């Protein structure tokens, strides 16, 4: 059981490193993924794009939007992984019951 926890931990760590190092310079795909929040994100980007003095704030906003996208993808991956695990357990139990 201890080895399984270590394996899960290192898998999660590698996944985290992979997504944190990945370049997501395609802002349009991030905005498409944001769904209902797209308008709000575009308002922030447009607000800080209007004035050159706000270039640091624009960079900060883009940085936060990118990191939010990465975090959401990681959460989505965790949920999918849990669902697959639950389905496997359910199938295993149902197979055992059927063979009874």
Give the pLDDT band of residue 6 (cuts 50, 70, 90): confident
Tokens of 85: 């695990």
Query: Taking 70 as the threshold, does the pLDDT of residue 27 lie above it?
Result: yes
Q: Of 6, 77, 72, 74, which Cα lies nearest the Cα of 36? A: 72
Residue 35, token pair as written in the block: 């769904």
pLDDT in tens, 7-20: 887 787 776 666 55
Q: For the segment 32-76, what is each residue's pLDDT rounded down to a tens digit?
A: 877 888 899 899 999 999 988 888 999 998 888 888 887 777 777
- The reported pLDDT for the residue numbered 46 is 92
């Amino acid at each position: 059981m201890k080895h399984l926890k270590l394996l899960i931990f290192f898998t999660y760590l590698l996944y985290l490193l992979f997504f944190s190092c990945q370049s997501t310079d395609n802002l349009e795909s991030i905005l498409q993924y944001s769904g209902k929040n797209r308008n709000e994100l575009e308002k922030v980007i447009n607000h800080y794009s209007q004035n050159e003095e706000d270039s640091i704030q624009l960079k900060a906003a883009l940085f936060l939007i990118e990191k939010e996208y990465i975090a959401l993808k990681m959460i989505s991956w965790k949920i999918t992984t849990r669902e697959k695990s639950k389905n496997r357990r359910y199938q295993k139990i149902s197979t055992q019951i059927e063979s009874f």
